[in-house]
Amino acid sequence: MSDAAVHVLTTEGPSRIQRIIEEAPSVRSVICLDGLTQILPVSPAYDAFVRRPAGVIERMSGHGAYRMDVSARIDEGQSWQLAAYIGHAAQLQGGTDVTVFATGEVDSHLAVRPVEHVDVKLAALARFLDTQDIDAEKAIIVVPDGGPETPARICGIAVQRVAGVAEALAFAGLDAPAEVGPIANDDGAAAKPARRRIPLFTVLGGAALLAAALFWAGGDFVRWSAMMGQGRVLDVETSLAEAGQDTFGHVRAAMFRTWLGLSRPASPVDIVGSLVVAREASACGDAARLDVRAVTSAFAAPGEICMAEFRAVGGVDDVVVGRLGYWPAGLGNGPRPARVMRGSGDVQGRKWTLEFKDLPQAGAAMRLVVIAGGVDISGPQPWYQDLLAAPLNSPVYEAARIRLARLGFTVTSLDWRRE
Amino acid sequence: MPADDPIRKLALAALDADAQARALLSPEGARARVSFSDLYRYANDPGFVLAPELGARLAVDDAAQADLAHLLANGAFAHIPRQAAAASGAVERRETEKAVLVLTPSRAGAGEVYLSIELRDASARPPSQLFARKTGEAWQRLALPVFSDAQTQVLLDADAALARALADPETEVYLR
């Protein structure tokens, strides 16, 4: 932590941010209590606050996983966000010895939104300050603008009402982040950057400009390649979109996409499947009374389907992942599949086994989506929503497929339904 | 069968009564046993805490450990067996068809490790407890935090028995 002392205002009194540590990108960000291993329940919300594409901390710092230790419990809610943001900014910039007490919710546009119980939090802060020896000239209390009236000072410390984090940082003697990444849409996806035409002078530039572009491309290529190697495909996509906002970045992103396209698997993915069927539902638990049939696009025979098993096999060097979605009332009929199976990897590819709790009736459907590429994909994978629900070859499905193709992956899908 | 089902309570009470009757016949041997109903609640109820003396008894009672193993195997969300004999060194990742367990050292300081659990079936009802046992040792139990987006994460002391067990290829794991 820097010299700044940043506190989260709570109704029980201020909770000091004791330290902020970068963790391995593969773990989720956590808030721990007083240096102990106790992870507070608010941690998933902190992780979402940190990590791209929706999180604002990674946009500021470039890192996506932290451990933050606080001196006292922080319960559910979002009002810790403003103090957390200031804490991260102070950590990055260092130098300032200000004491900050803050409450407020921070949205993806870095606006500060009003929160509840500010009066109770300030009363608890006043009781706390009565027991402390804090230099009021080097301290600041920051609350959201737009809420109920607040006193101008508490124990001699000025109360500042702010509408955005930039104001809050300025009051704390900190600079606003030099570069802010793309603002997320409401659905969490990064805003699509406007496509820019490459100016003529770039095309006509001399060897020096070309060399400079290649120099810069090299740095980004290393970063994007490292992220891709970790399976952070959505992060790569977001970073490419961000880079595409300026001219050289657009060229670098296009070059990297071309390279990804060249690394796309050439071997087709083979999918085989089988259904375990029985004459009646009660026989599903009796191995002696089961029959196994190959999966075809539709099943119209009498009897009950107890279990389905699919196996996908890709090229020798390809990593095969995917999802099996079960739609009891028909493909796309409902907000999401009733069940989604991730499958398990094996030396021959990947296998999905679905034991039906509710046996498929007429109209039930399964969609298997198989993604093949050079790496195992980790982190959020929003494309599955469309790939599992939209009709094959529909514009929505194709958009999701092309999105992955531009990142070096192939998509193969299989539909099944019960007549 | 719900946890407060009266028939189950009656059956557990009958098992305890039987054990007590046996204890009266051979008191020195039975004093070291943990009742079956306590074992059952220990295996199924994350909020149930064994009294310290019972916990100490359980740790050294091979028969109770075996009973607990049977309880854990029955209706487990996932079982992750011991690693293959060829496995060597610390285990960082365990996979089954149901879940993936990953151990990641914390950078916040030596001696802490993250245990991340990701369920393969995002729509499955998530487990609430983890049990781990290294060959020849007692079962370790961990109440799991609420899963979010089919994932959960806990932070363990690297020197804790559970963390050491999870890093050992000779450890089997149940998620319940």
pLDDT surpassing 50 at residue B121 = yes
Tens of pLDDT, residues A356-405: 888 999 999 999 999 998 888 887 888 998 899 998 878 788 888 888 98
**What pLDDT is attached to residue B36?**
83
Beta pairing class for A99-102 and A5-8: parallel
Cα gap A405→A411, rounded to integer Å: 8
pLDDT of residue A181: 41
Q: Which residue of A has its CA nearest to B116?
A: A27
Q: What is the mean pLDDT of chain B?
A: 83
pLDDT range class, residue B12, cuts 50, 70, 90: low
Among A226-240, B5-19, B99-113, name the one with the lowest average pLDDT. B5-19
CB-closest option in A27, A337, A342 to B120: A342
Overall average pLDDT of the A320-325 stretch: 92
Greater pLDDT, A272 or A168? A168
Closest to A68 in 3D by CA, of A47, A94, A92, A98 = A47
Give the one of B105, B148, B155 whose C-beta lies nearest to A44's C-beta. B148
B114–A23: do the CB atoms touch at under 8 Å? yes
User: Does A344 contact B at CB distance below 8 Å?
Assistant: yes
Confidence of residue A189 (pLDDT cuts 50, 70, 90): very low
Q: Which residue of chain A has the CA closest to B115?
A: A27
Residue A96 has pLDDT above 80, yes or no: no
User: How far is A263 from A236, CA to CA, in rounded Å?
Assistant: 15
Provide ipTM, 2 decimals: 0.76
CB nearest to B156's CB, from A26, A37, A67:
A37
Residue B122 has its nearest CB partner, among A340, A344, A345, at A340
State phi, psi for A201 to the nearest 5 degrees: -65, -25
Residue A183's pLDDT is: 39
What's B171's DSSP letter?
Answer: E
> Cα separation of A348 and A320, whole Å?
9
Q: How many C-beta atoms lie closer than 10 Å to residue A15's C-beta?
A: 21
A364 vs chain B: nearest CA distance in angstroms? 17
Whether residue A41 and residue B146 make contact (CB cut-off 8 A), yes or no, is yes
Q: Residues 58-87, chain A: which have Cβ within 8 Å of B?
A: 67, 69
Q: Do B104 and A32 touch (CB under 8 A)?
A: no
Total-model pTM:
0.57
H/E stretch holding A67 = strand A66-70
Q: Specify the pLDDT at position A21.
A: 93
Task: Determine what percent of chain A is predicted with pLDDT higher than 70.
Answer: 89
Q: What is the dihedral of CA A134, A136, A142, A147, to 10 degrees?
A: 110
A350 in contact with chain B, both atoms CB, cutoff 8 A: no
Give tens-digit pLDDT for A45-58. 999 999 877 789 98
Q: If DSSP states are collapsed to H, E and C, what string results for A112-175?
A: EECCCCHHHHHHHHHHHHHCCCCCHHHEEEEEECCCCCCCCEECCEEEEEECEHHHHHHHCCCC
Q: pLDDT higher for B96 or A220?
A: B96
- If DSSP states are collapsed to H, E and C, what string results for B42-53? HHHCCCCCCCHH
Q: Which residues of A fall within a CB distance of 8 Å from B107? A: 21-24, 67
Which of chain B's residues have a Cβ under 8 Å away from the Cβ of A345? 95
The fold of B78-175 is: Elongation Factor Tu (Ef-tu); domain 3 (2.40.30)
Whole-number pLDDT of residue A193: 37
* DSSP characters over B151-164: EEEEEEETTSHHHH
| Arithmetic mean of pLDDT over chain A | 84
Tally of CB atoms within 10 A around A199: 10
DSSP string, A347-397: TTEEEEEEE-SS---TT-EEEEEEEEESS---S--TTHHHHHHSPTTSHHH
User: A380 and A372 in contact (C-beta within 8 Å)?
Assistant: no
* pLDDT at res. A228: 84
Cα–Cα distance measured from residue A235 to residue A176, given in angstroms and rounded to the nearest whole number: 23
Question: Which chain B residues are Cβ-neighbours of A67 within 8 angstroms?
Answer: 106-108
Which candidate from A21, A44, A351 shows the least CB-CB separation from B108?
A: A21
In this predicted structure, the answer to whether residue A197 has a pLDDT above a threshold of 60 is: no
Chain B residue closest in CA terms to A45: B148
pLDDT single digits (tens) B21-36: 666 555 555 455 788 8
What residue of A is the nearest CA neighbor of B117? A27
At A85, is the secondary structure helix, strand, or coil?
A: helix
At B103, is the secondary structure helix, strand, or coil? Answer: strand
- Partnered with residue A262 across adjacent β-strands are none
Q: Within an 8 Å CB–CB cutoff, is residue B53 touching chain A?
A: no
pLDDT of residue A185: 38
Q: Give the one of A27, A67, A344 whose C-beta lies nearest to B116's C-beta.
A: A27
Confidence (pLDDT) at B108: 84
| DSSP letter (8 states) at residue A287 | G
- From CA A353, how far away is CA A275, in angstroms rounded? 10
Q: For residue A351, what is the nearest residue in chain B, using CA coordinates?
A: B97
For residue B17, pLDDT beyond 80: no
Closest approach of B36 to chain A, Cα-based (Å): 29
Which of B96, B97, B113, B157 is best to mutate for the A interface (most A CBs within 10 A)?
A: B97
Please indicate whether, in this complex, the C-beta atoms of B151 and A28 are within 8 angstroms of each other: yes
**What stretch(es) of chain B map to CATH 2.40.30?**
78-175
Evaluate if residue A305 carries a pLDDT over 80: yes
Check residues A81 and B22 and name the one with the higher pLDDT: A81
Mutant choice from A17, A18, A19, A27 vs B, greatest count of B C-beta within 10 A: A27
- Taking CB atoms and an 8 Å cutoff, what residues of chain A touch B119? 342
CATH fold for domain A5-171: Ribosomal Protein S5; domain 2 (3.30.230)
Taking alpha carbons only, the member of A299, A301, A303, A300 closest to residue A279 is A303
DSSP 8-class letter at A332: T
Cβ distance A22 to B151 less than 8 Å, yes or no, reads no
**Nearest CA to A42 among B156, B21, B115, B148?**
B148
Structure tokens at A52: 């791209």
pLDDT tens figures, B70-103:
899 888 999 998 876 545 567 788 888 899 999 9
pLDDT-based confidence at A221, cuts 50/70/90?
Answer: confident
Residue B140 has pLDDT above 50, yes or no: yes
- Higher-pLDDT residue of A84 and B51 is A84
Residue with token string 């497929």: A401
Classified as helix, coil or strand, B144 is coil
Is-contact A114 A144, C-beta < 8 A? yes
pLDDT of residue A3: 76
**Backbone φ, ψ for residue B170 (5° rounding):** -90, 25
**DSSP H or E segment with residue A216:** helix A207-229
Classify residue A46 as left (phi > 0), alpha (psi -120 to 50) or beta: alpha
Shortest Cα distance, chain B CAs vs residue A221, angstroms: 26
- The contacts of residue B14 (CB under 8 Å, 6+ apart) are none
Task: Indicate the pLDDT class of residue A218, thresholds 50, 70 and 90.
Answer: low
pLDDT above 80 (res A213): no
B167-B169-B170-B171 Cα dihedral, nearest 10 degrees: 50
Per-domain residue ranges for chain A?
A: 5-171, 200-262, 270-418
Q: Before A53, cis peptide (omega within 30)?
A: yes
Chain B from 111 to 140: CB within 8 A of any A CB: 112, 114, 116, 119-124
